[in-house]
Amino acid sequence: MHPGDPASENRIAGIYEVDFGHPLEGVAPGQRAFAVIDHGESRGHHMAAEVAPHLPARSGELLKFQAGAIPGVLCPLAHGRAADRNGRTGFYVVMPVPPGPALLAPGVGAFPPWPEADILHQVLRPAALALDGLRARGITHRAIRPENLFRAAAGEPVVLGGAWAAPPALFQGAIFEPPYAAMCTRAGCGNGSPADDVYALGVTMLVLALGHAPMAGLPGAAVIQAKLERGSFAALVGDERLPPVIQDIVRGMLAEDPEHRPTPALLADIEVARGRRVAARPPRRAQKALEIAGHAAWTARTLAFALAREPAAGVPALRNGMVDRWIRRNLGDSALAARLDETLHLRASPADAATQRDDATLVMRAVAVLDPFAPLCWNAVAVWPDAIGTALAAMEEPDPAGAAAPLGDMVEMIGDEAVAVWAAARADRADPTSARLDANQYRALLRQKGWGGGLPRLRYTLNQLLPCRSPLLRDAAVVRLADLLPALEGLAIAGRGFDGLDPEIAAFIAARGDHGGEADLLLLGDPRRADQHAIATLRLLAGVQSRTQAPAAPALAGWLGTRLAPAFAVFESRDRRRQREAALAELAASGRLGALLALIDDPEGIATDRREHGAASARVAAIDHRLDRLQAAASSRAALAGRLGQEAVAAAAAMGLVYAVMAALLA
């Protein structure tokens, strides 16, 4: 890499150049991908998957992959920004190009079923080994489906495709995810567990064995309903026949309880995997369905799903005892009814007594008790706590499916610390203490006043790789704090409507910085103190430049300089103002914001100025006093002159008299 060379600067990690003229199809389903020119020593054959601006890449997983590649997976090699020919900068994750085509091209309906041996040896075993490698590193894949499994040629083992340039399970269809993930709000699935990857692998095997995707054409909610009602395996297989080995293994892989699914290590040994039996009981089915807003509930989990989908209709049923009666009489599960009753009424602590009355809380607790695997369901939001950030980011952008984003519900959920209440309602599957700490933190950030708080701050805090959403930086993909100053400098050079920081940029700095500028962020959010905004902006940006060791920003400094001249009004000395204004122009040209700040934010200089101003004021007061006295002394001067004149003449006359007498006597 040659520093300063624009071509080099546009490379990811200094060696990967995105070849925008060479798009790749089918290598990163759901995302755009381009070929990569590798300028490193390895000269590998790589691709760059584009990260959507509102759906951040998986920062934690990208970090974990820095320890090295895992065999059988398209591991991320690097990630970063690259500008296309039009100057639009995007964020990309560089990965090896798949060894061959995907097992299934997107949109393929039916195809010849795969032989059992091929599924077991070319799909299950290599995928299980790869998943075990991921599990050992604490990584989940969450994008296992036939379109995202690749192999070099027929007979070759599959390789897991990339899953790092978008939130987990974002492009997974409802059939490939367990119900508790499929029912989540967009980008709300979270990282999940290796068991969820096992589930998706099981469905993939099922699809290959059947020669078509089951439940094709059904909406997601119907798929989830069927899985909850009959169990995933029964719902997906239906009346179709599977090879016996596949059937045995897939049945276990699709167990409802993630803890009942085989581990990836176990699946790698096909004989052991086949010999493993799942002892899970089928769900208890009611004699008569309970209708919630037209949704028939036959099991406790389908009731939970109905309540999650129709909370408004579910609240009366919960409050008037209809649900309790149905569970006791029709479902015959008095233990569950007692647990539900206890959770909804008795376990309310004084601290959450206020929210207990809230309908959303009521439904959320009921869902947590009725379906212990379900995510946090708050009105229209269904999300796993670790996906609150990605769901929030996705909600603030239009959904391609046209669904209304329940942003208000999400804000209410965070404001009411629903995560803590939810974790307390399912304490056997969650850690209420850490959930409460997280909930407190989220709420504090949401309620923080000024430009350093609120929804944007929370969004950037929870999504380390989410680009800044300022309209000014729309095409700049400012993901890291270090990217911010060069982008702002570019705007200042171009003069494209840059008029200082906006709430998005401020929140971005607050989230990515070291929490040192809270006072300035408060200032920026206060329109009554507009005169302080320029200096607050300078302080924040100087901090960014210092922390990120960003290059000089002369255009930005010049822009700030023109707005900072009034800040010198703090100095009373006109000479000092003139000197500093001259120095300001000089320092602005250097582009060092810290030096610019030191010129203005100079407590010692201000103290000296105030001291000297005090002395000058005292001197002026003394002058005025003396002038007043001179003016008042005009009449007294006349009297004095008269008296002095007479006395002087009298004295001279007296001396003359003495002289005359003496002279006469002596003569």
> In angstroms, what is the minimal distance from the CB of 598 to other proteins?
24
Instruction: Supply the minimum distance, in Å, between the C-beta of residue 532 and other proteins.
Output: 21
* Min CB(606)–other proteins separation in Å: 14
Q: Does 408 bind other proteins (CB under 8 A)?
A: no
Return all residues near 228 (Cβ < 8 A) that are at least 6 apart: 179, 283, 299, 301, 302, 305, 371
> CB of 640: closest distance to other proteins in angstroms?
7
CB-based contacts of 59, cutoff 8 Å, min separation 6: 463, 464, 465
DSSP string for 352-418:
GHHHHTSHHHHHHHHHHHH-TT--EEETTEEE-GGGHHHHHHHHTS--TT-PPP-HHHHHHHHHTTH
Within residues 639-658, the interface with other proteins by CB under 8 A covers: 640-646, 648-650, 652-654, 656-657
- Contact pick of 45, 329, 449, 637 for other proteins (by CB under 8 A): 637
By the rule CB under 8 A, 519 interacts with other proteins: no
Shortest distance (Å) from residue 610 CB to other proteins: 11
Q: State in angstroms the smallest separation of the CB of 613 from other proteins.
A: 6
CB of 533 to other proteins, least distance (A): 24
**Judged by CB under 8 A, does residue 101 bind other proteins?**
no
Q: Does 660 bind other proteins (CB under 8 A)?
A: yes
Angle between helices 359-370 and 407-415 (to 10 degrees): 90
Asked whether position 620 contacts other proteins by CB under 8 A, the answer is yes
Least distance in Å: CB of 607 to other proteins?
Answer: 16
| Burial state string for 521-531 with b = 16 or more CB within 10 A and e = fewer than 16 | bbbbbeeeeee
Closer Cβ to other proteins, 335 or 569, answer by number: 569
Residue 154 dihedral angles phi and psi, to the nearest 5°: -55, 135
Rounded-to-integer distance, Cα 4 and Cα 127, Å: 43
Cβ atoms 313, 292 nearer than 8 A: yes
Number of residues that bind other proteins (CB under 8 A): 41
* Contacting other proteins within 561-580 (CB under 8 A): 572-575
Using the minimum distance from each CB to other proteins, give the nearer residue, 335 or 667: 667
Q: How many residues does the chain have?
A: 667
One-letter amino acid at 189 equals C
Q: How far is the CA of 535 from the CAs of 194, 388, 565, 567, 575, in angstroms?
A: 50, 35, 10, 7, 21
Residue 162 CA to residue 32 CA, distance in Å, equals 12
Contacting residue, 222, 583, 607, 616, with other proteins by CB under 8 A? 616
| Cα–Cα distance, 609 to 603 (Å, whole number) | 10
* Shortest distance, position 566 Cβ to other proteins, whole Å: 14
In whole angstroms, the minimum distance from the beta carbon of 615 to other proteins comes to 10
617 is an interface residue for other proteins by CB under 8 A: yes
Inter-residue contact 602 to 580 (CB < 8 Å): no
37 contacts 13 by C-beta, under 8 angstroms: no
Residue 39 corresponds to which tokens in the numbers above?
Answer: 């300028």
Among 272, 312, 354, 661, binds other proteins (CB under 8 A): 661
Cα separations in angstroms, 481 against 166, 349, 556? 20, 42, 16
Sole window of 209-217, 288-296, 359-367, 626-634 interacting with other proteins (rule: CB under 8 A): 626-634
Rounded to a whole number of angstroms, the minimum distance from the CB of residue 652 to other proteins is: 8
Q: 50 by DSSP, 3-state: which?
A: strand
**Residue appearing with tokens 């233990």:** 335
Residue 347 sits in the site that holds other proteins (CB under 8 A): no
In 10 A of CB 425, how many CB atoms? 23
Q: Which stretch binds other proteins (CB under 8 A): 126-134, 398-406, 427-435, 637-645?
A: 637-645
Rounded to whole angstroms, the maximal C-alpha distance in the chain is: 168
- Considering beta carbons, is residue 5 or 647 the nearer one to other proteins? 647
**Which tokens go with 359?**
């309908």
Contact call for residues 458 and 446 (beta carbons, < 8 A): yes
Nearer to other proteins, 66 or 635 (CB): 635
**CB of 577: closest distance to other proteins in angstroms?**
9
Pick the closest to residue 503 from 477, 525, 535 (CA basis).
525
Residue 628 makes contact with other proteins by CB under 8 A: yes
Q: Which of 64, 347, 436, 613 binds other proteins (CB under 8 A)?
A: 613
Whichever of 589 and 649 has its CB closer to other proteins, that residue is 649
Phi, psi (5° rounding) for residue 90?
-125, 175
Task: CB nearer to other proteins: give 316 or 614.
Answer: 614
Instruction: Check binding of 631 to other proteins (CB under 8 A).
Output: yes
Least spacing, CB of residue 387 vs other proteins, in Å: 59
CB of 619 to other proteins, least distance (A): 6
CA distance linking residue 104 with residue 475, whole number of Å? 34
Q: Write down the least CB distance from residue 51 to other proteins, Å.
A: 55
The answer to whether residue 589 forms part of the interface with other proteins (CB under 8 A) is no
What are phi and psi for residue 2, nearest 5 degrees? -115, 110
Contact between 288 and other proteins by CB under 8 A: the answer reads no
3-class SS at 189? coil
Q: From the list 13, 117, 222, 638, which residue makes contact with other proteins (rule: CB under 8 A)?
A: 638
Q: How far is the CB of 626 from other proteins (least distance, A)?
A: 6
Rounded CA-CA distance 356/362 in Å is: 6
Q: Which is nearer to other proteins, 137 or 610 (CB)?
A: 610
Give the interface segment with other proteins, choosing from 17-25, 51-59, 323-331, 617-625 (CB under 8 A). Answer: 617-625
Using the contact rule CB under 8 A, the part of the chain among 348-356, 397-405, 580-588, 613-621 near other proteins is 613-621
For residues 312 and 640, which CB has a smaller minimum distance to other proteins in the complex? 640
582 binds other proteins (CB under 8 A): no
Phi, psi of 155 (to 5 degrees): 90, -10
How far does CA 105 lie from the centroid of its chain?
32
Q: For residue 380, which phi and psi values (nearest 5 degrees)?
A: -85, 0
The least CB distance from residue 52 to other proteins, in Å, is 56
Quick check: 139 and 65 in contact, CB under 8 A?
yes
**Residue reference for tokens 């404001």:** 415
- Window contacting other proteins (CB under 8 A); options: 154-162, 261-269, 345-353, 621-629: 621-629
Residue 633 touches other proteins, criterion: CB under 8 A: yes
| The two structure tokens encoding residue 632 | 């008042």
Of the pair 320, 617, the CB lying nearest other proteins is at: 617
Closer residue to other proteins, CB minimum distance, 404 or 650: 650
Quick check: helix, strand or coil at residue 590?
helix
- 626 binds other proteins per the rule CB under 8 A: yes
Single out the residue of 152, 403, 607, 627 in contact with other proteins (rule: CB under 8 A): 627
Binding site for other proteins (CB under 8 A): 572-575, 613, 616-617, 619-620, 623-624, 626-628, 630-631, 633-634, 637-638, 640-646, 648-650, 652-654, 656-657, 659-661, 663-665
